[in-house]
Amino acid sequence: MTAVATRPPSTAPPSIRPGRRSGARARRAAVVVLLSLYAVVAVGPLVFMLLQSFRPSREIFNDPLGMPTELYLDNYVEAWREAKFATYFTNSVLVVVAAVALCTVVSAMAAYPLARYSFRGNGVLTAYFIAGLTLPIELAVVPIFYLLGSFGLVDSRLGLMLVYAATGIPFSVFILAAFLRGLPRDLEEAARLDGAGEFSIFLRVMLPLVKPALATVAIFQFVQLWNDFFFPLVLLRSTDKYTLPVGLTNFFGEYQTNWGAVFAGLVITTLPLVVLFLFLTRQIVSGLVAGMGK
C-alpha cells in the first residue's frame, strides 16, 4: 500500500478583509482628529496668554488677536516687582511645598499599618479616613477658623500649611493603602528574617515600591493646593502673606487696564503647573496605570 501524504494544517493568520482594514483606519483617523481638536482647545488659551504677555497694552487694545512684534519683557518686570508677584509666588511655594511634604509623610505612615496589619479597629479607622472624602472640607471652615484662632495661627502661613496638609490626608491614605495592600507578604517576612525592624521595613522596603503612588498623590495635592483660593482668603489678612490665587484678585483690581501685565501675571501663576506636568508626566501615568490593577 502506498502511503498518502497529508498536508500539515496551515498556521498562517487569517487574512483581514479590506473592509475591516479600512474601517480600522477610519476609526484611528477619527480618534486622532478628536484628540487633536481637544489638544487645540486645551493648549490654545495657554499659547494665546503667553503670546499676549509679550505685547504692550496699547498693542493689545488695538489688535487683541495680533502676534507680538518683539519680546516686550516690561510686563513681567512690572508684575513681578510692582504688583508683588514675587511675594505671592514665594508664599505659595513655601506653603504648598511644605503642606504636600507633610501630608505625604503622614499619609504614608498612616496607610502602612492600615494596609499591612490586622488589628482591632482597623476597619473603623479605614472608614474614618474614607469618610473624609465624602464631605468637602469647606463645610468646616468656621470650626477651623476658631481652632486656628485659639492657637494664634490666623493670618499665619503656618496655619494655612497645616490646614492644607490635613485636607489632603484622606485622599492620600486611600490611594497609598490601596497600593500597599497589593504588595506581597513575602517581602516583609524576608526582611524580618534578615533582622530588619518594622520601621526599616516600612522605610527601605515598602516605600521604594510605592514611589509611583507617592508621586501621584504629591502631584495631585500640589495642583489642588496651588489653585486654592478659599482658605487663603478666609485665613489670611496681611497682603504680604497672600498666596498667588488671592494675590491675583488684588492684581486684577489695580491693573485691570494694563492687559499686558495681567497676562504676564497669569503666566507666572500657571507656569509651575505646566512645568510640573511636563517633567512628571511619566510618574503620573505610571502611578495611574499601576493603580488600575489594585
- Residue 167 resides in a domain: yes
- Residue 24 resides in a domain: no
- Residue 264 resides in a domain: yes
- Residue 258 resides in a domain: yes
Tally of structural domains, the chain: 1
- Residue 163 resides in a domain: yes
| Structural domain of 107 | 74-292
- Residue 270 resides in a domain: yes
189-203 confidence digits (pLDDT tens): 888 888 888 888 888
247-270 confidence digits (pLDDT tens): 888 887 776 778 888 888 889 888
Q: What is the domain-level CATH number for residue 171? A: 1.10.3720.10
Residue 61's Cβ-count burial label (10 Å; 0-12, 13-18, 19+) is exposed
- Residue 140 resides in a domain: yes
**From residue 271, how far is each of 89, 130, 157, 159, 281 by CA, in Å?**
11, 33, 22, 26, 15
- Residue 20 resides in a domain: no
Q: Quickly state the pLDDT bin for 93 (edges 50, 70, 90).
A: very high
Residue 92 above 90 pLDDT? yes
Report if pTM > 0.95: no
